[in-house]
Amino acid sequence: MFGQGAPNKVTIRDVADLAGVGIATVSRALNGDAEVAEATRLRVLEACETLGFRRSSLARGLKRGTTDNIGVAIMSRHAPVVLNPFYTEVIGGIEEALEASEKHLLLSSLKRREGLLALAQEGRVDGLLVVGCDVSDGVLAQFRDRNIPVVLVDHAFEGLPSVVSDHWQAGLIAARHLVAGGSRSFAFVTENLDNPNFGQRLDGFRHGLVEAGLTLEDRAVAAGGDAWDGGYFAMERVMERLAGIPEAVFAANDPAAMSAAKALASRGLTIPDDVSLMGVDDIHLAAHHDPPLTTVRVDKVGLGRVGAQLLLARLAGEDVPERTTLPVELVIRSTTWPTLGSER
């Protein structure tokens, strides 16, 4: 059962006939043109109602050159991308902004990376939100050169508008907090060092240490891979190389921090008594971690919301800045020693 069966098509023509007007009038009434007599408008609206008429978005779009669809592509090397709690929140922010403006969200398929351009060229979407760092510069350059309306989220590229977190500041805040907590030796663990965002976090972290007259040894910096246990391996590596344990560990993001915590625990180390630990992002799990993870919160929803707003503005012909940076915020929980907020 449930084979084909044409969902009855009712067009603007039918409405016009029933209301006893021309199709142009129906169109006007529906578009809220002021030039329509109140009585006529009502008659049209009523006809639409009884007929259950809805404008064809296809025909409308073909004529107006827009679809009211916004493409969203998550560019993350982490395999099942939708699963990533970080991006999931970003999408929430995008939803929020699109909802407010009657736009629809077209989620670009995970693997169809290069097909992204096609989405825009086929006119399937009016604009694109490209989220994350795992995009080739080549693709981005094409977007820029062909002048396709796109806004980058959590990633930046010369000549394309983007919204990012203040990664450098996140590193700085972490360093200051850890230093204020009394730590004197440090380690930085991450999934990889290719991700420019992680790199900026590391830079900021280093800066914070240096400004306190401290340093981060090169061998105390390790990348453990992009799998679930990247933080674990990175932590293991650091401990091997240092032949000891640092007083504080700063992880490039929360997953890495939680994963590193396991490596620490497997050595019988207690957090924060033996070693302080903090991450970045403040994903949901962070607060539920044992012990609750101190972290630098990134405004994930804001990233999505602002990104969408910028795109919408750009589509409306408004000028948008090339770069928008969202502030981050220290969230002290139980993997570090509490300090007065002064270190900010």
Residues at the contact surface with DNA, assessed by CB under 7 A = 9, 11-13, 20-25, 27-28, 30-31, 35-41, 53-56, 59-60, 62-64
Q: Which is nearer to a second copy, 106 or 214 (CB)?
A: 106
Q: Which of residues 36-55 bind a second copy (CB under 8 A)?
A: 52, 54-55
| Residue 161 preceded by cis peptide, ω within 30 | no
The reply to whether 321 sits near a second copy by the rule CB under 8 A is: yes
Q: Of the listed pieces 20-28, 184-192, 198-206, 316-324, which binds a second copy according to CB under 8 A?
A: 316-324
Helix (H) or strand (E) holding 342: none
Q: Are 202 and 252 in contact (CB under 8 A)?
A: yes
The reply to whether 207 sits near a second copy by the rule CB under 8 A is: no
- Min. distance of Cβ 66 from DNA in angstroms? 10
What DSSP designation does 126 have? S
CA atoms lying within 13 Å on the CB side of residue 21: 22
Q: Which tokens hold the place of 270?
A: 């207690």
Q: Mind spelling out the 3-state secondary structure of 27-70?
A: HHHHHCCCCCCHHHHHHHHHHHHHHCCCCCHHHHHHHHCCCCEE
Residue 326 binds which of DNA, a second copy, none (CB < 5-8 A, kind-dependent): none
Q: Which is nearer to a second copy, 37 or 100 (CB)?
A: 100
Q: Which tokens hold the place of 282?
A: 């403040």
- Min. distance of Cβ 19 from DNA in angstroms? 8
- Min. distance of Cβ 48 from DNA in angstroms? 10
Q: Which is nearer to a second copy, 32 or 111 (CB)?
A: 111
Which residues touch 32 (CB under 8 Å, ≥6 apart)? none
Q: Which residue has the tokens 């625990």?
A: 265
Q: Are 139 and 79 in contact (CB under 8 A)?
A: no
Residue from 56, 136, 215, 270 binding a second copy (CB under 8 A)? 56
Q: Which of residues 136-155 bind a second copy (CB under 8 A)?
A: 146-149
Residue 39 binds which of a second copy, DNA, none (CB < 5-8 A, kind-dependent): DNA
Nearest to 309 by CA among 296, 326, 327: 326
Nearest to 323 by CA among 307, 312, 308: 307
How far is residue 311's CA from residue 162's CA, in Å, rounded to a whole number?
9
How far is residue 229's CA from residue 231's CA, in Å, rounded to a whole number?
5
Q: Which of residues 78-117 bind a second copy (CB under 8 A)?
A: 80, 82-83, 85, 88-89, 91-92, 95, 98-99, 104-112
The reply to whether 270 sits near a second copy by the rule CB under 8 A is: no
Q: Which is nearer to a second copy, 85 or 225 (CB)?
A: 85
Binding site for a second copy (CB under 8 A): 1-8, 52, 54-59, 61-62, 67, 69, 80, 82-83, 85, 88-89, 91-92, 95, 98-99, 104-112, 118-124, 146-149, 161, 284-285, 290, 314, 317-322
